[in-house]
Amino acid sequence: MMMNFNLSIAAIMRQALMVAADTEIVSLFNDGNVHRYTYAQAFSRARRLANVLDALGCPADARIGTLAWNDHRHFELHYAVPCSGRICHTINPRLFPEQIGYIIRHAEDDLLFVDPQFIPLLESLQAELGSVRHCIVLCAADQVPASSLPGLLSYEALLEAVDDHHDWPELDERRAAGLCYTSGTTGNPKGVLTSHRSTVLHGMAQNMADSVGLRALDVVMPMVPMFHVNAWGMPYNAAMVGAKLVLPGPRVGDAAAMIKLINDEAVSFSLAVPTLWANISQHLDAHAAAVPSLKRAVSGGAACPLALIEAMQRHGVALENGWGMTELNPMGSYNRHQPWYAALAQAPRGQQLLKSGRAMFGVEMRIVDEAQRPLPHDGQASGALQVRGPWVRSGYFGEQTTEGWFDTGDVASIDSKGYMQITDRIKDVIKSGGEWISSVEIENAVMAHPQVAEAAVIGLPHPRWSERPLLVVVARQDHPAPSHEALTAFLEDKIPKWWMPDASAFMQALPHTATGKVSKKTLREHFTDFAWP
Amino acid sequence: MMMNFNLSIAAIMRQALMVAADTEIVSLFNDGNVHRYTYAQAFSRARRLANVLDALGCPADARIGTLAWNDHRHFELHYAVPCSGRICHTINPRLFPEQIGYIIRHAEDDLLFVDPQFIPLLESLQAELGSVRHCIVLCAADQVPASSLPGLLSYEALLEAVDDHHDWPELDERRAAGLCYTSGTTGNPKGVLTSHRSTVLHGMAQNMADSVGLRALDVVMPMVPMFHVNAWGMPYNAAMVGAKLVLPGPRVGDAAAMIKLINDEAVSFSLAVPTLWANISQHLDAHAAAVPSLKRAVSGGAACPLALIEAMQRHGVALENGWGMTELNPMGSYNRHQPWYAALAQAPRGQQLLKSGRAMFGVEMRIVDEAQRPLPHDGQASGALQVRGPWVRSGYFGEQTTEGWFDTGDVASIDSKGYMQITDRIKDVIKSGGEWISSVEIENAVMAHPQVAEAAVIGLPHPRWSERPLLVVVARQDHPAPSHEALTAFLEDKIPKWWMPDASAFMQALPHTATGKVSKKTLREHFTDFAWP
């Protein structure tokens, strides 16, 4: 006897128009130019864009690909495409070109909306673009680059040619809204299809006070790109509460530019992978700079070293761990810093800060042993992490769906207060003498060493123990590489004795995947012929 | 391609068990005894209770009536009944006995769970209890009172006779969960049926950081009774975030007892109607007492005078306005105090504090004129307030459903930031010379007069203007009643000239409805023969 009211991305738009019509969305471009307009103007242009999609004869359930950085036009695509019933397919331009080609073919994208800088990439993929009827370049008519691609259209010219009257259709909440491919290290990428319902529920849960908890007074800057599962929800979740959005474009790796933008726009909350936070932290230190408006930030996408959390704390920023996957739309748990952390002794406080946090309401978590038996939530037992909930994928695009618990591929423990800690990836876990060694925990410990810039621990075959850990280290710039003996001495009181790496190797840089994670698969291949000392 | 995962009250239970198994639920009883146990123990008893319902042969979709104050047993009913698929029908014991009889008959309650003190009430209603197979008294076996009601059962004895193994069924999220009758001033009460979905979505929205925003560190004490639409959601929403719950039983009118309980249990957040806050504020003043743990509180159910908000502020409590109705499960908007309020000058700050806040995400609001044309959100135009959303009722129990905007019966304005302000009830609005006068705004203004304890403004027929406002005032204890001239002089710079009441009348007390609101219907009847001076 309650209304049959659909959860929809259009409702997020209506809420933002109601509470924040005049609130700003600020975009920084590669050339240093800043674009600013309001939610009211953004959604007016989104309505024009929906008219453009209609005018281009885009089918009702088409996939619309994007190859774009975080800016106002990509924001408009995040609304016009799903709210008109189509599917917004954000493509990661950092993938290998052959993966991008595969993804466009597999998704059968009808249109592609592309930043000018990605035109050369597309030119190299012309053979893969069979389904694509038009490429629309995200710029004004006079900025469309000369190209071997036929018939490039200008986004701005198309928008100018239509008006901004558009009645958004009422859509079933389970209708698909977004498509994002995971870039697994094995096999072809797999598409995760989100729905209006999953997007809205994920956003509501993320905006709960003990989770990410955005407020209207926040100024939100996602440095994580929108092609990483919609910048972890921000284009939708900031609008849901009417917070100002700052979209930093392609220059997220430029710490100086990001610090300037944070200070210019009074950013209070930002999100990025640990590598970017490390850049920013080092830049702040090196230049005695400050980010006084930035109160909280999210680190996600990879394990965050404690040293980085503590460094950001010295800069006045609570760097909070979030955990998620593309398959979760993407966030599953969040470690909102609690006042009681401050009362902990240093060691347990560090442990607590490193945890991936509590399951967001809506996501259910459990850990199981190899026989799928649930393990206790005592903070000790670790097992395969499984999740379920309304924003957990039941299948991949074009494949069968299966309900029930989803295997995340992570190994984790869960404590009695529900705090989850990732200890490893299942495929990276080191099996030594029938027991599991957590590569992540050794990495966390060794990252605190003052001469270590980056570290990875991998399991390599061992005649007696089946596998033993090898520590791979990148020394900090202008520092000598520490010896194996120095490293093991440093680790002595930090990890169990039997976890101690049997050897250390030194590299100039670690191999990374397209999403910025250390590729342990590549590392293991690199050390195929390694001989234990 | 996202999981078909039902939003359910059972999921709230699972979340609380995951993050707050050992967190306390504290109940205060009439005799001063305090009961305390944990969420784990509460849900163990809820599983026993579900087994009791099965053992009593309670049908799968039965309505289960409750006549009870806020305590741990009533909490258990809020989970065992809906999570086993039945409907938890909370009955307001303050209604007239004939209304209670009507409600039980209309709902066809299968079982009644009753506090011992309501047994005499039920004895007077025996003729109405045709559908009720058993009355279960919420006490131990030796505390069941002697009664003319046949076969009274003891709640504790029933729970002891079963074990706590119960597998909660997977339920469709649109299944009914709760039933609450509105007590309109005209006609029979009407039943509002909530669903698992509406309860969960309402709770998620309420727990968003810019709304009520409960956190795990909160200690939540609903003084509003659970029979007022589940204490505005608290038995569900505190559990959803794992916050400690304090259930104050029947003694909510006893300010001294409530202040002691707040201090004993370190309550950080509480909810009540303005009358109770006025009691507490006066008691704190009179006894130079303090409630240092209490940081925020909700005033709802009736308009809250600014003087009360300011008085609570002096006691360190941000008293925030919530607006809702039984038809909204119940909350629709919330005025979370924002840091920018502090920068406002006194008059606009007061205006801002009095607003009913912004629509919670999920509830959409608009104001319309008499031709149903939407009015601008400029903070000036006022019109009939309409709402829609997934926790807005589409019909009443046993009646037809209708989708589309729901007429709240309130008159309101909405400003450009989405802040809604109730200016009147449609039926109480005063139509003078073709324009509307807001009785609520005059009441708000006159309540600041130091000699005024309570005030109501009603429209009475007028030969020239169709209606004119009459001001009805209750003087503060030990204060003389102010004259009409003194009151109008006080109002002079606070309301438009043409709104000025033409006369004042003085009463010892205003008539109130069963839910504590001033009954303007009774007042208008009282002044039927009033002659304008």
Contact between chains at B361 and A241 (C-beta distance less than 8 A): yes
Tell me which residue of B74, B43, B118 sits closest to B249, measured CA to CA: B74
* C-beta of residue B36 within 8 angstroms of C-beta of residue B24: yes
Contacts of A418 in chain B (CB under 8 A): 18-20, 242
pLDDT digits (tens, 9 = 90+) for A175-216: 999 999 987 656 789 999 999 999 999 999 999 999 999 999
Per the rule left: phi > 0, alpha: psi between -120 and 50, beta: everything else, B18 is alpha
Question: Catalytic positions of A, please?
Answer: 182, 327, 431, 436
Q: Tokens at residue A5, please?
A: 């009211």
Contacts of A209 in chain B (CB under 8 A): 207-209, 213-215, 241
CA distance A349 to chain B (A): 17
Cα–Cα distance measured from residue A411 to residue A421, given in angstroms and rounded to the nearest whole number? 8
Strands (E), B403-478: 406-414, 419-425, 430-432, 435-437, 452-462, 466-475
Contacts of A21 in chain B (CB under 8 A): 416
**Parallel, antiparallel, or unpaired for β B331-334 and B318-324?**
antiparallel
Q: Which of B108, B260, B310, B431 is catalytic?
A: B431
CA distance A365 to chain B (A): 9
CA distance B156 to chain A (A): 29
DSSP states along A120-162? HHHHTTGGG-TT--EEEESS-GGGPPP-SSTT-EEHHHHHHTS
Contact between chains at A392 and B213 (C-beta distance less than 8 A): no
Amino acid in position B390: P
CA-to-CA dists, residue B289 to B262, B269, B274, B277, B280, angstroms: 12, 18, 19, 14, 10
Nearest chain B residue to A395, by CA: B1
Cα–Cα distance measured from residue A526 to residue A517, given in angstroms and rounded to the nearest whole number? 16
Cα–Cα distance measured from residue A171 to residue A187, given in angstroms and rounded to the nearest whole number? 34
* C-beta of residue B240 within 8 angstroms of C-beta of residue B15: yes
The Cβ of residue A316 has, within 10 Å, a number of other Cβ atoms equal to: 13
Q: Tokens at residue B300, please?
A: 């709802």
Q: Tokens at residue B139, please?
A: 């006490």
- DSSP letter (8 states) at residue A361: T
pTM of the model: 0.93
Q: Which of B323, B391, B436, B465 is catalytic?
A: B436
Nearest chain A residue to B399, by CA: A1
CA distance A390 to chain B (A): 5
Contact between chains at B3 and A392 (C-beta distance less than 8 A): yes
Amino acid B70: pLDDT: 98
pLDDT digits (tens, 9 = 90+) for A395-454: 999 998 888 999 999 999 999 999 999 988 888 889 888 788 889 889 989 998 999 999
Amino acid B186: pLDDT: 62
Residue stretches of chain B with pLDDT short of 70: 184-186, 515
Select the residue of A209, A240, A391 nearest B213 (Cβ to Cβ). Answer: A209
B24 part of the active site:
no
Select the residue of A12, A241, A401 nearest B210 (Cβ to Cβ). Answer: A241
B436 part of the active site:
yes
* Pairs across A and B, CB distance < 8 A: 186
B497 part of the active site:
no
Nearest chain A residue to B23, by CA: A417
Select the residue of B1, B11, B414 nearest A401 (Cβ to Cβ). Answer: B1
Peptide bond into B330 cis (omega under 30): yes
Cα–Cα distance measured from residue A249 to residue B393, given in angstroms and rounded to the nearest whole number? 44
Peptide bond into B120 cis (omega under 30): no
Amino acid A355: pLDDT: 96
Q: Tokens at residue A392, please?
A: 């957990």
Cα–Cα distance measured from residue B446 to residue A419, given in angstroms and rounded to the nearest whole number? 52
* pLDDT over 70 percentage in chain A: 99
Q: Tokens at residue B444, please?
A: 């708000």
The Cβ of residue B201 has, within 10 Å, a number of other Cβ atoms equal to: 27
- Could you list the pLDDT tens digit for every one of the 533 residues in chain A? 899 999 999 999 999 999 999 999 999 998 899 999 999 999 999 999 999 999 999 999 999 999 999 999 999 999 999 999 999 999 999 888 999 999 999 999 999 999 999 999 999 999 999 999 999 999 999 999 999 998 899 999 999 999 999 999 999 999 999 999 987 656 789 999 999 999 999 999 999 999 999 999 999 999 999 999 999 999 999 999 999 999 999 999 999 999 999 999 999 999 999 989 999 999 999 999 999 999 999 999 888 989 999 999 999 999 999 999 999 999 999 999 999 999 999 999 999 999 999 999 999 999 999 899 999 999 999 999 999 999 999 999 999 888 899 999 999 999 999 999 998 888 888 988 878 888 988 998 999 899 999 999 999 999 888 899 999 999 998 888 999 999 999 999 989 999 999 999 999 999 988 777 888 989 999 999 999 98
φ, ψ of residue B368 to 5 degrees: the values are -130, 155
Contact between chains at A364 and B11 (C-beta distance less than 8 A): yes
CA distance A324 to chain B (A): 15
**Is A39 exposed, middle or buried (CB count within 10 Å of its CB: 0-12, 13-18, 19+)?**
buried
Q: Tokens at residue B176, please?
A: 């009914």
Amino acid B35: pLDDT: 98
Give the three-state DSSP class for B336: coil
Contacts of A416 in chain B (CB under 8 A): 21-22
- DSSP letter (8 states) at residue A84: T
DSSP states along B237-304? HHHHHT-EEEE-TTGGG-HHHHHHHHHHHT--EEEE-HHHHHHHHHHHHHTT---TT--EEEE-SSPP
